[in-house]
Amino acid sequence: MQLAVNIDHIATLRNARNEQQPDPVTAAAIAELAGASGIVCHLREDRRHIKDRDLERLREAVTTKLDLEMAMTEEMQRIAIRTKPELITLVPEKRQELTTEGGLDIAGRYDKLVEFIKPVHDTGIEVSLFIEPEKEAVRLAAEAGADLVELHTGPYSLKKTTGEAEAEIKRVRTTAAFARECGLRVVAGHGLNYYNIIPFSRIGEIEEVSIGHALIARASLVGMERAVKEMLRLIDA
């Protein structure tokens, strides 16, 4: 299973002071050097973390695969076609949410989705749909012309007992197998972390996971000792 790294929250941290550091593009380059199979960023309508300029710079710098997460709006479609990431992932977006909540409602916007995908495909960009791990959503995604589905692992990450987590893994695995039968490639993400990834990583039908928050949170902690020592060295000098 490969790992795509979402660097949105490097930008969240930078924006807390409206300065240049930490730079999401530098974080992306380091993630790639460490073995990431791709870099993910979500350009939100409110630009709360990744900004337009970040996306342009990421497009220039990313050498693995750039996955632009975005809402299904005309503005984002224009930006995607201009920027040409290797992949876009369509997600539902609500202004008030802290992070993406739930998968796309494909049935409710089927015709619009088919129309939306066409010019993106014509530009040579692959399209992934972020969906709940349910067969009907997979069937509609395939019919609508998606190349991939990203199965929502938020529900898995919220399971409290091993039994519940195992049942959810089974549901994800069955849905992933069905998606592959439908000719779709399958990735997964949301809420995956250092505590819940091991059982999940055994799902052979899933080629890649997309992880953001847990990685950035971990980086800030495992990097703390070095950061303090470097500062002390400068002070002592």
The nearer residue to ligand PXP, 42 or 173, going by C-beta atoms, is: 42
Q: Is 190 noted as a catalytic residue in this protein? A: yes
CB of 24 to ligand PXP, least distance (A): 13
Binding region for ligand PXP (CB under 6 A) = 6, 8, 42, 69, 89, 91, 99-100, 130, 150, 189-192, 210-214
Is residue 168 part of the annotated active site? The answer reads: no
Instruction: Please tell me which residue in 9, 32, 42, 150 is annotated as part of the active site.
Output: 42
Instruction: Considering the complex, state which of residue 141 and residue 226 has its C-beta at the smaller distance from ligand PXP.
Output: 141
Q: Which residues in 33-60 are b (16+ Cβ under 10 Å) and which e?
A: eeebbbbbbbbbeeeebbbeebbebbbe
Task: State which residue, 135 or 218, has the beta carbon closest to ligand PXP.
Answer: 218
49 catalytic? Reply is no
Q: How far is the CB of 129 from ligand PXP (least distance, A)?
A: 10
Query: How far is CA 5 from each of CA 67, 117, 143, rounded to the nearest angstrom?
Result: 10, 24, 28
Here the contacts of 167-173 (C-beta below 8 Å, separation 24 or greater) are 169/199, 169/200, 169/203, 171/133, 172/133, 172/200, 172/203, 172/206, 173/203, 173/205
Residue 36 CB, nearest distance to ligand PXP (Å)? 13
Active site residue ranges:
42, 69, 190
